[in-house]
Structure 1
Amino acid sequence: MPTDTQPADRRLEGIDDAVLPFQVDALDIRGRTVRLGPALDAVLAHHDYPPAVKRVLGEAVALTVLLGTSLKFDGRFILQTQTDGPVDMVVVDFVSPDKVRAYARFDKAALAEGGVLLTPAALLGRGHLAMTIDQGLSVHRYQGVVALEGEGLEAAAHQYFRQSEQIPTRVRLAVGEEMRPGGGPSSWRAGGLLAQFLPAEAGRARTPDLPPGDAPGGHEALAPEEDDAWAEAQSLVGTLEDVELIDRELSSERLLYRLFHERGVRVFDAKPVVAHCTCSRERVAGVLASFEAEERREMVQEDGRIGVTCEFCGRTYGFAAEEIVEAPPEA
């Protein structure tokens, strides 16, 4: 049950680094919005990313937070891309209920060749997007994989829900750089909205079947007729502009009121999001101990130490060789 059922126009305070769940009963949709400010800056600050890479990673963080905050248990939601574009790998790790970290790998030469004209979709290119839900050692991981075909994360998210969840879903993502007056350092903002059609009558939410592999040539599969409520919801979400999703002067509550006020949108309590890396000396030592003794010996540097740098936060952990090389492998 909702903990707050006030109309969205009654809650006008703007909150950064938060996810706001909402519901529109008249259209049978539920969803979430996300606004990221300081938390996104904190994630990006660990690496000297070019602006184009920051945009890609910002979109990935916003999408991961939208999806990860739906977990009803303690666990992780991990988004990872592997593609042929200038940004060939993105990893975002969300630990419920509120912690996120991320990093990207990119080709400087390919990025420079493409210049400023490369969109986030072009930067990713073609490959695949994997979304993993990890509930811990006692439960098997669930992973869904969809193709990235040069259309970006929004399109891939839509394909994921069609293919894996079979829930009619619409996603919008936006990232922007905010310049400070007087020439100070810029900051980054990201926003997103996810809306899902969840009617009580399951038949109303039918999605098109996958193409039949043995159909005669020229045969076209009949798609189910789209529900009027979902068609209206998609039309309203489609009016969103990027600037509305990242404007610090436009709260999520006002945004939802603009979109759905004629249908009576309700909002729930906002959920905070923080940038936080889960690495630690103990965790790194545990990972090193999992290698065979010969592999550990090969890791020793000329100064007789082993150094490990966290890809996410850039923190480096140093160990004396005897701490690691002679340690028994973990079971």
Structure 2
Amino acid sequence: MSDSINRFIFDNTDVRGEHVRLEKSYQEILTIHHYPPGVANLLGEFLAAASLLSATIKFEGSLILQVRGDGEIPLIMAEANSERELRAIAHDANQAMNLDFKSLIGNGQLAMTIEPKHGKRYQGIVSLAGDSLAHCLEAYFEQSEQLSTRIWLCADANSAAGLMLQELPSKSPDKDRWQHLVTIADTVKDEELLTLNADTLLYRLYHQDAVRLFDAKPLIARCQCSRERVEKALISIGQAELNDIIQEQGQIETNCEFCNRLYQFSPTDIAAMFDQNIPITRH
């Protein structure tokens, strides 16, 4: 499968890994917004990274990877949920001309947010000290999770991919073994990540090591927007302001910023949001 993620482990070590490749899902997301090349490639890296990170967590809900900076892209984010559904967006980035990470992002913060279906929301934040998304994520794990983690990300006009190695908590970590595995992974080329499946890639890298590859799990592009979510957002605006819009426009129309799906609300719909005795007419 071209759009899939694979977990792998090294026998007799406390090191795990994930490999992800995205093609169709990546292209579907790019088709919606038509970003400049540098923005599109970085969005691909965000999608690959969100996929890798969400696969390391046992939870029901969503993982959101977001960067706010003062560069050419004020805000860029990707989301992956426990159903392996992906979405992503870059705000106000149509005029971005550069290709390098620092010019696109500038100075700012990287936030990783976990929103479980049940339980408390968690967010970790680090500064954008690295010269790539992968380096910033590695710094996040070093500071926030205290887990040795290495990440390789890349994207082009056709696909996005990523590789991650992570040292699991252990009473007696084998640092020499960890360094050996990282040194080999450092030889991987972008072309290999973007074109090879997990089985072929891992054989090229670790044919002399005892590595065990698990079955691939599919990933798809699918927005998690819903009419109910939009209603909650409108309620937060307040009934008075919504009524003013109704007076001016006759109804309220809003598009999902991720997938461009149109949601329409009549005066009866708006009234029903604030009075449960009035039925909402669905469109």
Q: What TM-score, normalized by structure 1, do the two folds share? A: 0.78
Amino acid at match of 2:182: Q
Residue 135 of structure 1 is matched in structure 2 by 116
Residue 74 of structure 1 is matched in structure 2 by 60
1:251 aligns with 2:197: yes
Residue 158 of structure 1 is matched in structure 2 by 138
Q: 1:287 to 1:238 in 2, by over 3 A?
A: same
RMSD: 1.9
Larger mean CA deviation between 298-307 and 122-131 belongs to 298-307
CA contact (8 A) 1:103 1:312 kept: yes
CA contact (8 A) 1:124 1:150 kept: no
Residue 105 of structure 2 is matched in structure 1 by 124
Q: Distance in 2 between matches of 1:128 and 1:265?
A: 35
Residue 190 of structure 1 is matched in structure 2 by 160
CA contact (8 A) 1:19 1:35 kept: yes
Amino acid at match of 1:24: F
Q: Distance in 2 between matches of 1:119 and 1:301?
A: 47
CA offset digits 1:217-262 (Å, max 9, x no partner): xxxxxxxxxx211111110111011111101xx2211101111111
Q: Distance in 2 between matches of 1:164 and 1:59?
A: 21
Structure 1 residues not aligned, in runs of 5+: 1-14, 178-187, 206-226
1:175 aligns with 2:145: no
Residue 64 of structure 1 is matched in structure 2 by 50
Q: What secondary structure is seen at the aligned counterpart in 2 of 1:40?
A: helix
Q: What secondary structure is seen at the aligned counterpart in 2 of 1:236?
A: helix
Which of structures 1 and 2 has the bigger CA Rg?
1
Amino acid at match of 2:111: A
Q: CA deviation at 1:325?
A: 4.6
Q: Distance in 2 between matches of 1:297 and 1:317?
A: 17
Residue 84 of structure 1 is matched in structure 2 by 70
CA contact (8 A) 1:55 1:120 kept: no
Q: Distance in 2 between matches of 1:170 and 1:107?
A: 28
Q: Distance in 2 between matches of 1:125 and 1:98?
A: 30
CA contact (8 A) 2:70 2:108 kept: yes
Q: 1:31 to 1:324 in 2, by over 3 A?
A: same
Q: Distance in 2 between matches of 1:253 and 1:261?
A: 10
Counterpart among 234, 255, 258 of residue 312 in structure 1: 258
Residue 236 of structure 1 is matched in structure 2 by 184
Alignment of 1:240-279 (within 5 A): 240-247=188-195, 250-279=196-225
CA offset digits 1:103-148 (Å, max 9, x no partner): 1013444x24x4xxx3134312221110011113x41111110111
Counterpart among 129, 151, 163 of residue 149 in structure 1: 129
Q: Distance in 1 between matches of 2:250 and 2:67?
A: 36
CA contact (8 A) 1:39 1:274 kept: yes
Structure 2 residues not aligned, in runs of 5+: 277-283
CA offset digits 1:18-60 (Å, max 9, x no partner): 0000011255311100010101111111112111110111000
Larger relative contact order (C-alpha < 8 A, sep ≥ 6)? 1
Q: CA deviation at 1:326?
A: 5.8
Q: What TM-score, normalized by structure 2, do the two folds share? A: 0.91
Alignment of 1:31-50 (within 5 A): 31-50=17-36
